[in-house]
Amino acid sequence: MPPCPLDRLPDGTAVRLDPRTRRRDGDTVLLGGSPLRLLRLSPRARALLATDRLVVTDAATAGLAARLLDGGLAHPDPGPRAGTDDVTVVVPVRDRTAGLARLLAALRADPGTAGVPVVVVDDGSADPAAVAAVAAAAGARVLRHPSSRGPAAARNAGLRAADTAAVAFLDSDCVPAPGWLTPLLGHLADPRLALVAPRITGLPTARAGRLTRYEGVASALDMGPHPAPVAPHTAVAYVPSAALVARRTALGGGFDEQLRVAEDVDLVWRLAAAGWRVRYEPAAVVAHEHRTEPADWLRRRAFYGTGAALLARRHGDAVAPLVLAPWAAAAWALALLGGRTGAGVAGGVAAVSSVRLARRLAVPGRPAPVALTAALTARGLLTSGRTLGRAATRHHWPLAVLLLGAGPRARRLLLATAVVDAVAAWVPHHRAIGLLPFAAARRLDDLAYGAGLWLGAWRARSVRALLPARPRTTGRPG
C-alpha cells in the first residue's frame, strides 16, 4: 500500500459537527464520535468552534478539523466539488448482461457521468460476445479474462487500465441515482482521502416480498443514513465494494486477488493501517439488486461469514465479533451469573469505573464531572449489553445453543436476548416492515452468518475470528 501523504487539509475546506455530537461542561467538552469519546477543548479550540462549522484557514484549524473528522465528531460540509472529467468507471461483470445494460444506460442518462470513460471487465462470462455487444453499444471499453479470476482481479484489471486521478468501481447489479458521483469526488479535495463510498439501497422491484422488505431496511450493504469515517471498531467498520470511488494512486496494487470474499473489507483496513482516510457518504446513493430468494440469500449470508477467518489472519482483532472493556465484561458476567449478589457487585464495579473515569477527566480548579461520567458509564453498560446480546444471537449462537440444556433460567435468558435484539433493531423501521417478519428474517440472517463464521474458522483451523477484543485507545484532540 503506498504511504499516505502528510499534507494537511487545504484552506477553504469546511467541516461541520455531527448533529449527534454534544457540547458539555460550558462548551469545554465535546462528546460524540465512534467509538464514543469525550474531547476536552483548549481555549483556542473553543474559540475556533464558536459555531458548529469550522473552516480551514491555517495549520491550527487544519489540525483541529482533521482530528474532528477522524474521530467522527465532524464531517465535510461539503468539500469543494471536483469535476467528473478525471474519473474512470470500472464495472466487473460475469454473466449478467441485462444488469450491465441497465447500469450503462443509467450512467449515460446521468449528466454527471454521461461523458465519463467506462471500462467493463468481463471475468470469464459464458457468453463474452453478449457482454462485448452491450458494452460496445454504450461506448465502453472491454477487458476480458478467459476464465473467472474473481471480483478482486476484475477490479484490479480495470484499475490498471485507468489513467485518471479517480476510479469509480460499480458492480453490474447496481444502478446509481442521478448525481451520485459529484458528492463522492468532492471528498478527494482531502489529500489523505483514499476511498469514499456511497449509501447502497435496495433497487425497487415489483415483487416486494418479506425478504425484499427486510433487505430494504437491514441489508449488509447499507451502512445507514449518517456520514462517517471508516475504520475497524467504529460505527462503520467497512464499506462494500459494490460501489466505491478511489484515488487511483492510493490503491497501489488494489484488491487482494487471493480473496474471493471480504476483499473490500481487507482493502479498507489496509488503507486505514497505512494512514489513509476512508469515508462513507450517504448523500450519494446507489441502488443494488439485493438477493431475495431464500436459499440464495442464506448462502450469501453464510458466504460473508466465511470471510472473517481470512480477515483475522491478516488484521488480527480488527475482525473481533465482540469488543468489550474489561470492567463492562466483568459487570455483565456478575449480573448474569451471580444472581442478586452478583448484580449488586456488578453495580459496584460500574460505580468504581465511573469514579475512576471522573478522576481521569478532572481539571484542576473545577469539580470532577461525576454526573457526566455516571451517564457515560451507564451508556457504556447498555452498549456492552447490546453487543453481548448480538454476539450470542449472531456470531456465537452455536455456543449459546448449548445453554438450552443448562436449565430453564438459561433458556429464558437466551429467549429474552433474541426477542430484545429483534425488537430493538426493528423499532427504527417499524413503518416499513412488521415485527414478526423482521424478527424471523433477522434470526435466519444471524444463523446463516454465524454458521459461515464458524465454518470459516474451522477451515482456517483458527479461532481468532471468534475471540473478543478490548476497545482501542484513542487520543483526545483539543
| Distances 24 to 27, 32, 352, 368 between C-alpha atoms, Å | 5, 11, 22, 13
CA R_g for the chain: 24
Which cell goes with 394?
Answer: 449472531
pLDDT value for 476: 40
C-alpha cell at 374: 455516571
Average confidence score pLDDT of the chain: 92
Please give the chain's pLDDT, 478 residues, in tens.
Answer: 888 988 899 999 999 999 999 998 788 889 999 888 888 888 999 999 999 999 999 999 999 999 999 999 999 987 555 555 699 999 999 999 999 999 999 999 999 999 899 999 999 999 999 999 999 999 999 999 999 999 999 999 999 999 999 999 999 999 999 999 999 999 999 999 999 999 999 998 766 678 899 999 999 999 999 999 999 999 999 999 999 999 999 999 999 999 999 999 999 999 999 999 999 999 999 999 998 899 999 999 999 999 999 999 999 999 999 999 999 999 999 988 878 888 899 999 999 999 988 888 777 777 778 888 898 899 999 999 999 999 999 999 999 988 877 788 888 889 999 999 999 999 999 999 999 999 999 999 999 999 999 999 999 999 999 999 988 754 443 3
Residue with cell 460496445: 136
Q: In Å, how far are 97, 265, 329, 456 from 312, measured between CA atoms?
A: 35, 11, 22, 11
Ranges assigned E (strand) in 237-331: 243-247, 277-288
Bridge partners, residue 90, by sequence: 119, 169
Rounded Cα gap, residues 147 and 125, in angstroms: 8
Give dist(CA 407, CA 411) in Å, integer.
6
Distant-in-sequence, close-in-space partners of 424: CB < 8 Å, separation ≥ 6? 386
User: Residue 81: what pLDDT?
Assistant: 58
Place of cell 473467472: 148
400 in Cβ contact with 373 (< 8 Å): no
DSSP single-letter state for residue 94? S
**Sign of the C-alpha dihedral computed for residues 174, 452, 425 and 231 taken in this order:** negative
Alpha helices in 11-56 (DSSP H): 43-48
Q: By the 8 A CB rule, do 292 and 212 touch?
A: yes
Residue written as cell 469525550?
38
Q: To 10 degrees, what angle do helices 128-137 and 97-109 make? A: 10
What the chain holds in terms of domains, given with CATH numbers, is 14-76 (no CATH), 87-292 (3.90.550.10), 293-321+396-478 (no CATH), 326-385 (no CATH)
pLDDT at 264: 96
**Residue 160: C-alpha distances to residues 88, 164, 178 (Å):** 11, 10, 27
Q: What is the pLDDT of residue 474?
A: 46
Give the pTM: 0.93
| Long-range interactions of 403-412: CB distance < 8 A, separation 24+ | none
> pLDDT digits over 125-167, tens only?
999 999 999 999 999 999 999 999 999 999 999 999 999 999 9
Sequence letter at residue 461: R
- What local confidence, expressed as pLDDT, does residue 208 receive? 67
